[in-house]
Structure 1
Amino acid sequence: MSTLATTRATPSIWGGVIIIAGTIIGAGMFSLPVVMSGAWFFWSLLALGFTWFCMLHSGLMLLEANLNYRIGASFDTMTKDLLGKGWNVINGASVAFVLYILTYAYISASGSIIQHTLGEMAIAFPARMAGLLFALAVAFIVWLSTRAVSRMTAIVLGAKVITFFLTFGSLLGHVQPAVLFNAAEAHASYTPYLLMTLPFCLASFGYHGNVPSLMKYYGKDPRTIVRCLTGGTLIALGLYVVWLLATMGNIPRPGFIAIAQQGGNIDVLVGALSGVLHNRSLDLLLIVFSNFAVASSFLGVTLGLFDYLADLFGFDDSPQGRFKTVLLTFAPPMLGGLIWPNGFLYAIGYAGLAATVWAAIVPALLASASRKRFGSPHFRVWGGEGMIMLILLFGVGNAMVHLLSSFNLLPVYQ
């Protein structure tokens, strides 16, 4: 009887895989075909594959360092102890900025998407109120437990995968090789636009705030957590490839210029895809999919912010302690969503630069410092100092590309 109870109490590996995949795959994926249209399909796959490799290993480096601390310790504890107060301030500011602004972005996006969805059913509902109610629902789930987030994310991610394949199954059936291989442009240039894609790729593989959450979920079990990170990131990579194939195989490369000129918003891309098949049901499926995409990312991002703030302020895991953490997690972005309800795209853009600090640079520095301090008693990422240097260069390179792009010093496909 006791063995059975223990078995039931052991979390399934799929819970962690779902948390990671659900956090990564969000409404931001709708921007990928637009920003990658210059580099086009095959060069974009190269950028996505390289970014996946680097972001997976930066997450593993974070896990390597985290295993040397108590369960529940997050970025604040590790960075302060291993890298000192200066790096802790820089990292803390970047973590808080990225997670808060993403939480705000998903409140903003959820409000507009819910308003649009209800509008399709002839129900008028203000975006601000929709975003507020949605945020309150997510806050309640996060307050309950990490397991509750995992179960709800499993439901949402399952629905998202189903609507994804229902939506893009028809598109994949209409992929035209001449469009995918861009046969219409005889002397097309792709490589000048490759660097521009990297920061967007990095932003599309953000899950690092959830690594300490998985330690709370599974305990100090590196083998299981490594499988969760690998499985979750591979699912995201696979869905991104299918998404690029479905869009770039149906919309000619020059067609993305007009989409970008109109802001690259979801509704513009949906309209372009609908025009390919002349199928109104595609509109509805894409709207449903976007709802699930925002919901799953919202759950994962807020869980990461919740655990970071709990560690930073030393709140315990009691209902009262979790309530304090939930209040700090949701109150500021909910206020921002009420004041500026339409800031999704701006928020996602500003999050990219700060994400390079805590999703690439700091994990590499933590792994290096952790090895010098503790050795590697629990787990060690392969590749030695060379792998650490690669991840550092990846982070610094992304930051430089982001800055050059901000000052319009990189070529833009237009």
Structure 2
Amino acid sequence: MRGTSIASSPSTSHRTVAERRPSVVGGAMIIGGTIVGAGMFSLPVMMSGLWFQGSLAVLVLSWFCTLHSGLMILEANLNYRPGASFSTITRDLIGRRWSLFNGATLVFVLYILTYAYISASGSVIRHTAHNLGLEISSRNGGLVFALAVALVVWLSTAAVSRITTLVFGAKILAFFLTFGGLLGHVQPQVLLDRGNPQPDYLPYLFMTLPFCLTSFGFHGNVPSLMKHYGKDPQRIRNCLLIGTLIALVLYTVWMLCTMGTLPRDQFKDIARQGGTIDVLISALGSMLNSARVDLLLTLFSNFAVACSFLGVTLGLFDYIADSLGFDDSPRGRLKSALVTFAPPIGCALIWPEGFILAIGFAGLAATVWAVITPALLAHASRKRFASPLYRVWGGTPMIVLVLLFGLANALAHLLYSFDLLPVWR
């Protein structure tokens, strides 16, 4: 009996360790929650010139390229210690100068997105409070929301995972309740733009690329996932695949509902009013004349902002901790939280309505660290490490495809910034 007991102990211990391994669902929720946030509300506004069919094609292309650039980060990251960030990996594989440049673009994007989500949360909370008969300014709403997110991120990555899973689940429920109602109002003639005898879509194709790229931004979370899961490439790969696929499906349904309900010309007025979340929700609510749909859209927007806010700030938090050498103690995490949240909160208090503008500025910098740098990392990693733990399929052609996608995005953003691309306004 004793021999049997001793012999069975390793197996029992192995099962216990396996049972305690973090769930793929939690990681997928972090990725999906980071992607599907307030940024999705800007998509139909910024892509209304291209309209539904063209927008869907660009979204699929952007999903494919950003997923594989994320996997390239994972491939390179697996050759380093868990917790090593872009700064460590890029400096070692590509060089100090590119590391500084890449780090500047990464911090810029994550700070811009954090500011954008504070701005968006203020807009959403103001709209929600107004529906409840209360009045609260965008500044105060964004400040309260930012402090709540900062508390969760300060606690731990596991806390972010648990809260994100809960909020993302509630968001999915609100999504299907909301869009179950909206799908019933989709009109084929509106979706296919049949009221326009001579539709002109192609001129607006190029300008949509940076917004789609920003809308699939999860890359700052790849080092965080490896810190959470350890060197387990298949589990992390599954997190990225499932999380990004969820985002692609939700984006498709969102575009279908909005572009099948609101005529193409109406998006010009929405854009002129700033294109913020509350403006779009108000336009949908007035078009459908449904208090229930307006309420569900408001709930969904609150969950969407919360999920994306948590994911983006977690990536920025871990990058800052690694770059500045802050440890994982409560005091060290407090330092990381202050550096993470203080600058964007300050900007949001000064400029509370900068959501669409901030999302647009993030596009060019995101092209560098979310697409171009991952491709360069994969190339350099394969030259240095003969037997990597994981390798993205497609070989050199896949690296070239991701690089070309990044360069096209950079060119599109520069042309858009200098008003050299047509805008549906």
* TM norm. shorter chain > 0.5: yes
Give a deviation string over 1:155-196, Cα, whole Å, max 9, x none: 111111111111111111121212212222232122221111
Given that 1:22 and 1:157 are in contact with CA atoms closer than 8 Å, whether structure 2 keeps it comes out as yes
Mean Cα deviation higher: 326-335 or 219-228: 326-335
Q: Report the Cα distance in structure 1 between the residues aligned to 2:351 and 2:274, rounded to whole angstroms.
A: 18
Q: Which residue of 1 aligns with 2:297?
A: 286
- The CA deviation at 1:3 is 4.5
Q: Report the Cα distance in structure 1 between the residues aligned to 2:57 and 2:387, rounded to whole angstroms.
A: 32
Q: Which residue of 1 aligns with 2:108?
A: 97
Q: Which residue of 1 aligns with 2:268?
A: 257
1:305–1:123 Cα change, 3 Å: same
Alignment RMSD (CA, Å)? 1.5
Q: Which residue of 2 aligns with 1:277?
A: 288
Secondary structure in structure 2 of the residue aligned to 1:351: helix
Alignment partner for residue 125 of structure 1, among 113, 128, 136?
Answer: 136
Alignment partner for residue 325 of structure 1, among 310, 328, 336?
Answer: 336
Amino acid at match of 2:103: G
Tell me how many residue pairs correspond in the alignment: 414
Give a deviation string over 1:238-289, Cα, whole Å, max 9, x none: 0000011111111222222222222222223223222332112222221111
- The CA deviation at 1:4 is 5.3
Q: Kindly indicate whether residue 52 of structure 2 is the aligned counterpart of residue 47 of structure 1.
A: no
Secondary structure in structure 2 of the residue aligned to 1:292: helix
Q: Report the Cα distance in structure 2 between the residues aligned to 1:177 and 1:115, rounded to whole angstroms.
A: 33
Q: Kindly indicate whether residue 255 of structure 2 is the aligned counterpart of residue 244 of structure 1.
A: yes
Secondary structure in structure 2 of the residue aligned to 1:216: helix
Given that 2:35 and 2:247 are in contact with CA atoms closer than 8 Å, whether structure 1 keeps it comes out as yes
Given that 1:74 and 1:311 are in contact with CA atoms closer than 8 Å, whether structure 2 keeps it comes out as yes
Given that 1:64 and 1:376 are in contact with CA atoms closer than 8 Å, whether structure 2 keeps it comes out as no
1:276–1:114 Cα change, 3 Å: closer
Alignment partner for residue 395 of structure 2, among 378, 384, 388?
Answer: 384
Query: Which structure 2 residues correspond to residues 345-360 of structure 1 after superposition, within 5 A?
Result: 345-360=356-371
Q: Which residue of 1 aligns with 2:380?
A: 369
Q: Report the Cα distance in structure 1 between the residues aligned to 2:369 and 2:310, rounded to whole angstroms.
A: 20
Amino acid at match of 1:360: V
Q: Report the Cα distance in structure 1 between the residues aligned to 2:250 and 2:181, rounded to whole angstroms.
A: 15
- The CA deviation at 1:50 is 0.4
Alignment partner for residue 210 of structure 2, among 186, 189, 199?
Answer: 199
Given that 1:102 and 1:347 are in contact with CA atoms closer than 8 Å, whether structure 2 keeps it comes out as yes
Given that 2:204 and 2:422 are in contact with CA atoms closer than 8 Å, whether structure 1 keeps it comes out as yes
Q: Report the Cα distance in structure 1 between the residues aligned to 2:387 and 2:214, rounded to whole angstroms.
A: 29
1:50–1:261 Cα change, 3 Å: same
Q: Which residue of 2 aligns with 1:157?
A: 168
Q: Report the Cα distance in structure 2 between the residues aligned to 1:349 and 1:412, rounded to whole angstroms.
A: 13
Given that 2:72 and 2:377 are in contact with CA atoms closer than 8 Å, whether structure 1 keeps it comes out as yes
Q: Which residue of 1 aligns with 2:99?
A: 88
Mean Cα deviation higher: 250-259 or 6-15: 250-259
Q: Report the Cα distance in structure 2 between the residues aligned to 1:5 and 1:338, rounded to whole angstroms.
A: 48
Given that 1:80 and 1:88 are in contact with CA atoms closer than 8 Å, whether structure 2 keeps it comes out as yes
- The CA deviation at 1:294 is 0.7
Secondary structure in structure 2 of the residue aligned to 1:246: helix
Q: Report the Cα distance in structure 2 between the residues aligned to 1:232 and 1:221, rounded to whole angstroms.
A: 17
Q: Report the Cα distance in structure 1 between the residues aligned to 2:54 and 2:329, rounded to whole angstroms.
A: 49
- The CA deviation at 1:400 is 0.4
Alignment partner for residue 228 of structure 1, among 216, 230, 239?
Answer: 239
Identify unmatched segments of 5+ residues in structure 2. 1-11
Q: Report the Cα distance in structure 2 between the residues aligned to 1:343 and 1:397, rounded to whole angstroms.
A: 26
Amino acid at match of 2:132: M
Secondary structure in structure 2 of the residue aligned to 1:88: helix
TM-score (structure 2 length as normaliser) = 0.94
- The CA deviation at 1:128 is 2.6
Q: Which residue of 2 aligns with 1:215?
A: 226
Mean Cα deviation higher: 373-382 or 360-369: 373-382
Given that 2:86 and 2:319 are in contact with CA atoms closer than 8 Å, whether structure 1 keeps it comes out as yes
Amino acid at match of 2:135: A
Mean Cα deviation higher: 199-208 or 323-332: 323-332
- The CA deviation at 1:35 is 1.5
Q: Report the Cα distance in structure 2 between the residues aligned to 1:5 and 1:318, rounded to whole angstroms.
A: 27
- The CA deviation at 1:201 is 0.5
1:128–1:258 Cα change, 3 Å: closer
Q: Kindly indicate whether residue 60 of structure 2 is the aligned counterpart of residue 65 of structure 1.
A: no
Q: Report the Cα distance in structure 2 between the residues aligned to 1:394 and 1:299, rounded to whole angstroms.
A: 28
1:143–1:268 Cα change, 3 Å: closer
- The CA deviation at 1:376 is 4.2
